[in-house]
């Protein structure tokens, strides 16, 4: 069982559709994405495929550790910084 509880038949169908189209093997991630989008399978598929496309088109993202408490990622293709605490 996942953290969202048992899935009904409609949710199981949407999960199968999402995983077939996106080739996503991570069931927990797929359920989380679908649940976060109120089980809008078309939107979830679009977002997943766009995320995958961005990952393959942007191999130049680099993470640089500057201190023990902060990390900065510089994306050379779009020129922006993202910071997150450890």
pLDDT-derived band at 57, boundaries 50, 70, 90: low
Asked if residue 42 lies in contact with residue 50, where contact means CB atoms within 8 angstroms, the answer is no
Domains (range + CATH), the chain: 9-57 (1.10.8)
Angle, in degrees to the nearest 10, between helices 9-22 and 41-57 = 20
Mean pLDDT of 27-47: 97
> What share of the chain has pLDDT > 90, as a percent?
51
Confidence of residue 58 (pLDDT cuts 50, 70, 90): low
Provide the pLDDT for residue 77: 47
Residues 6+ apart with CB under 8 A from 26: none
Q: What pTM was estimated for this model as a whole?
A: 0.59
Average pLDDT, the chain: 77
């Amino acid at each position: 069982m996942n953290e969202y509880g048992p899935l009904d038949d409609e949710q199981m169908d949407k999960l199968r559709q999402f995983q077939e189209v996106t080739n996503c093997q991570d069931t927990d991630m797929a359920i989380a994405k679908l649940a976060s989008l109120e089980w809008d399978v078309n939107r979830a598929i679009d977002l997943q495929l766009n995320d995958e496309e961005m990952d393959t088109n942007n191999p130049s993202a680099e993470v640089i550790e500057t201190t023990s408490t902060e990390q900065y990622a510089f994306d050379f293709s779009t020129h922006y910084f993202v910071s997150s605490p450890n």
